[in-house]
Every structure is written in C-alpha cells, then in structure tokens.
A and B are shown apart, each in its own frame.
Chain A
Amino acid sequence: MTMSTQKRKKRLNMKDKYKYMTRLGWETTYQDMDDVFPEDKFEGIKIHDWEAWEDPFRMTMDAYWKYQGEKDKKLYAIIDAFAQNNGQKNITDARYVSALKLFLTGVSPLEYQAHRGFANIARAFRGDGPRVACQMQAIDELRHVQTQVHTLSHYNKYFNGFSEWTHWHDNVWYLSVPKSFFDDARAAGPFEFIIAIGFSFEYVLTNLLFVPFMSGAAYNGDMATVTFGFSAQSDEARHMTLGLQAIKFLLEQDPDNVPIVQKWIDKWTWRGYKVLGLVSAMMDYMLPESPQSWKEAWELYFEQNTVALFKDLERYGITVPDCAATIKAEKEHISHQVWMTLYTHNAAAPFHTWIPDEKKMDWLSEKYPETFDKYYRPVYEHWNKLEKEGKRYYSEMLPQLCQTCQLPMLATEVEKGEPTQIAHRHTMYNGERFHFCSDHCKDIFEDEPEKFIQSWLPVHQIFQGNCGGATLPEVLKWYKVEFGQDNLDYVGSQDEKMWKEWKGEA
C-alpha cells in the first residue's frame, strides 16, 4: 500500500465545497428530461434557463446542521427554564392560552404541510439550485413544527384544548379553513405551490401571522412561545428570500408567465387573508394585552410594506391584487365578525371564548372608532345580559359554509356600504349550485371548479352521516372534544378554575 506515503489532499475552499455538495443536476441522456421531471410543465409556465434560479441559501448540510443545532440548544434551554420556573403561572391571564390552542391546532400543522410541500417540489423542479433550496426549506419547516410542539406540550400539562391537536386539525369544522388552504396548495403544481406558499404566504402575509402571535406572546408573559418565534425568524428570512427569488425568476423567464403568476397572486392573497381571519379574532379578542389591533397590523404589514413590494414588481406588469381593496374595506369588521362566530359555535370548538370585559371593549372602541360601538358592542351587551340570566348563547344549528374558503358565511357587503348584510354569491356547475362568501372565492372556484367541488365541508359531512352522528354529543365524540373540558365559555371552565386557584382567587 502506498496510502501512507501519499500527500493528504488540500481541503476544498467554501465555494468549491458548496458547488460539489449541492450541484447534483445533470442533463439525462438515457431518459428524456420530461419523463424525469414530469411536473414542471403542465401548469403552462415557460422556463428557458434554469441556471438563472440560484439557490439563495448557499449552505451545505454540515454547515446547516451546525447552525440549526446551536439555535435548538438555546431554544430548549429556555423552554426547560420556563418549565422549571412554572412559567405558565406568569402569563397575564388563562384566557391567553386559547390563542396558543388556536396556534397549535391551526398553524403548527401548516408548518408540517409546508415541510411536505417543499420536499415535494424539491423533487419536481429540474433546476438543481431551487431543488436544493426547497429541500433546505422543507427541513426548516419540519424543525418549526417540532419546536412548536415541544414548546406547547408544556401547556398541555395544565390546560385543556391541546391533547388531540392533529385529530382536530384534520376534522374539526373551523380548522378546515387552514387545512383546506394548504391542501389546495399541495394539490397544485410545483410553480403554483411556490407562489402560493413561498411568495404569497411567506412573503406577503407571514408578518400578519407570526408577528401578532409572537408579539402577543411577549405582551402576555409567554417567553416560551416568544423563543420558538425567534428561533424560526432567521429561517423565515431565508424563506422570504426564496419566495421573492421564485417570483422574479418566473416573471423574467417569459412574458407568458406574467398573467399566470398574477392569477396565483390574486388567488393566494385572498386565500391567505381568509385564513388570517382566525388570526384577526385572536389578536383583537384572545390576547388579554394586545400589542396592536388587526386593523393596525394590516395597515402596517400590507398597506405600507407589501404595497412597496408590489411597486417593485410593477415593471414586470404585476399589480396589487384586486382583493386588497376588499380586505381594506373589511378591516374594521372582520375580527369582530369572526369572534362572534367562534363565540356562537363554541360548543363544537376545543378552545374557550368569552364576552370581552369593559377594559377590552374600551380598547376595541378606541381601535375601531367607526364600527365597534355602533355594531359590535351592542351585540356583546345583549349576549352579556343573556349570560347573566344563565342563558349563555350557543347556536344549536350549523352554519352555511363557503365552498372555497370554508369559513361560515359570515362576511358582509362592507364594500357596498351594507356592513350588516351577509354577502351571498353562487354559481352553477354540473347541475349543482355552489355558494360563496365573496366574489373572490367565487372567482377562485370558477377557475378550477373540478377541484373545489371536492371541498370536504364539515357541515355537509355531518349531515351526510360521516362524523359520528347527527347530534352534538355524537359529533363531539367523533371530534374527540371532551364536552365541558375543551369547549364552551371560559367563564366556568376548568382552565378558569385552575387559574383562580393559582392566583389565590378561588
């Protein structure tokens, strides 16, 4: 053997190392490239030069593990300290925990969906730059769902409404709103997926999702949740870079791509906004101390920041989606309308709702001067009176749902100056009538009716007999929601009782 006498080769420099470890693509010759990558043409997107889409992360796996490992170590140290110091007792109020229940059941499963979706498109693109970048993001997303589950599992030791979060995400009525959002994206082609999630959601809307939850956590003494937020933040910055790069790449490759991309931006901004309806109610009602209102968040993150981004895309012929005008018109109403719905149907939802107290109502009056005292305060006063008489209002009936976004038909004709009139739209397809909450949801359906006729609408599924039975106890059993523990008003709940014992108020 001559090994020992050979001179050891010099280590590769960073640039070469990156190149050799990530440039794994080649032109196939035994098989047609279209057979190897069968998914990147059917959407009608034209690509002339895949090399123009570089991997924006430029990380190799060994560097990635080291970097993420450091962040995980810090995160888990803080979570341990939170647990040892009984951090759950230092939050502002146990009502706050409902925001976490909504996060774990409605948002964390989307991180997992994002993981699966990015892993899938990492296989679908024939350019190796985006393939590597999407694979990295897929791993990030898996880390996010894990850190969130680990953090929130601490609350599961003390509070109801966490135990069956995966089952709830897949089955409970209002969670079909976020679930169907991601099912729609993942059932699309790879280009639509990356515009839907990488651009519209990560870039345009993510600040409206994560900042409210994380700043809400900070304002309410929940350092554990703040920490997983911080741990994800540097990943999110990379994801936003990938989303922006994706859209610019598509727009620069061929002018025929522009109308397709515009259609997807319009669709996914609206789809994302409807999911954020749940977040708007969380921000304005579930947080005992609110850092900002939904309206303020929308104005800052969309009307100011995102509109500046669209200015940058104008040169490609891209415009701000039409739905932005609708969202702007609805910003003084949506959070109140969603909270009213959650309050009304709380018998079938595994978190708590409540009538806002005087301090919160005054805050809402201040933040929503045009609408709160005129429309919504009188409703809460009416329901509060019923509650005092021992007749807390729960709807015994099930709502009509929008075929596209799957929210109850709670949106109103705000743009037409009739904020108390529910908006109804419908269309016919294959001899059947389909109903929508808005023109935007109707347009999305009409563009791809074959897809949206397959919506798994929870209310219709109950009536078809697919959810355990026709009565509330049967459906709750099938949902795995414990009546009197996971659901109903905060007042009188086990969460409230325990909280009062902790605070010596029992």
Chain B
Amino acid sequence: MAIQAKGEYPVIMMDSVDKFHGNQLVYVGWDKHKLINSAMAFPLPPAMPFKALVHEVMPSCYKDHPDFEKVVWDDSVIWRLNGEEFTPDFEKSLEDNGIDHKSLVRFETPNLTGINGVGM
C-alpha cells in the first residue's frame, strides 16, 4: 500500500548506507539468550572479516552472558542471515559473506540453554 496524502509524498531514506561514514549497519542476535535482551546494532566496515565480527565485536555485548565463554565456534552453531540459515566463511569479509547494510546476523547455540536452562 502507498500512503494516502494530499499531494506528492517524498521518499526520504533516513538510514541509507551513505550516511554511515563508510560503515554499514549490522545487527547481531543470539537466539534464546534473552539475558542480552535485544539484538544489538553495530556500524561496521563492509570489509571487516567475519572472524573479527565474532571475536572482536560480539564479545563487547555477549561477554555479559555467562554462556558466552562456553561457545565453541564449530558446526554446532547455527547461523541465520536475515532469517535464512547460512554458513559464514570466517576468513572472508562481511560483504563477501553476503552481509549487506542493515543485515541481521543471528546465531543459535543448541548446546547452551541460558540462565536457568530456559533460554534466558
């Protein structure tokens, strides 16, 4: 649907990638670990290697969950990019992993069940 308006309604992209000084927005969410109570937002260079996202960026918020130090970054981790399962290449950049502006990267750690074992 388009907006009902009296006249022309301008299309103004408030958060287009050109406004982020060479960075792009990337959101990261940890499934069923609600102690970190929302997905987090980061402005990151598209050329950043995926491993830097995991080992340098993600600890800044997930270190606050006691499960985080127990995560083993092997095949047991299920990754989702914008809702679709995907297998990231840790050596490649965000861009080359298909992670574009305003992408949501989610990870699930089935072996870790969070606070009280209920996904908190």
Contacts and interface: CB of A to CB of B under 8 A. Distances in A.
Interface of A: 38-39, 42-44, 189, 337, 340-341, 344, 374-376, 378-379, 382, 393, 395-401, 408-410, 412, 418-422, 424, 426, 430, 432-435, 446-451, 453-457, 459-460, 463-465
Given A375-B118, A379-B34, A455-B14, 19 more contacts: A341-B37, A341-B38, A374-B116, A378-B118, A379-B115, A397-B40, A397-B41, A400-B29, A409-B39, A420-B118, A421-B119, A422-B31, A422-B38, A424-B39, A433-B103, A435-B27, A448-B1, A454-B14, A464-B20
Which 7 pairs from chain A and chain B are nearest by CB?
A: A420-B119, A378-B116, A408-B38, A399-B38, A397-B61, A400-B39, A448-B3
B85 to A, nearest CB: 14
Interface string B100-120: 011110100000001110111
Question: How extensive is the interface on chain B, given as a class?
Answer: 35 or more
Interface stretch (B4-12, B46-54, B68-76, B86-94): B4-12
A304 to B, nearest CB: 31
A256 B40 CA distance: 43
A372 to B, nearest CB: 12
B21 interface: yes
Given A409-B38, A432-B102, A42 B61 contact: no
A52 to B, nearest CB: 24
B41 A422 contact: no
Contact of B16 (A340, A409, A432, A465): A432
Contact of A450 (B6, B9, B21): B9
> Which of A337, A410, A454 lies at the interface centre, i.e. has the most chain B CB atoms within 10 A of its CB?
A454
**Chain A interface SS verdict (over half):** mixed
B102 A433 contact: yes
Nearest to A451: B3
B14 A463 contact: no
> Which of A189, A395, A412, A465 lies at the interface centre, i.e. has the most chain B CB atoms within 10 A of its CB?
A395
A374 B117 CA distance: 9
Given A189-B4, A433-B102, A463-B43, A457 B23 contact: no
A448 B39 CA distance: 25
A424 B104 contact: yes
A398 B116 contact: no
B104 A421 contact: no
A400 B6 contact: no
A378 B27 CA distance: 27
A465 B21 contact: yes
A357 B17 CA distance: 45
Nearest to B40: A397
A455 B13 CA distance: 9
A457 B20 CA distance: 14
Nearest to B34: A420
Contacts of B10: 450
A44 B4 contact: yes
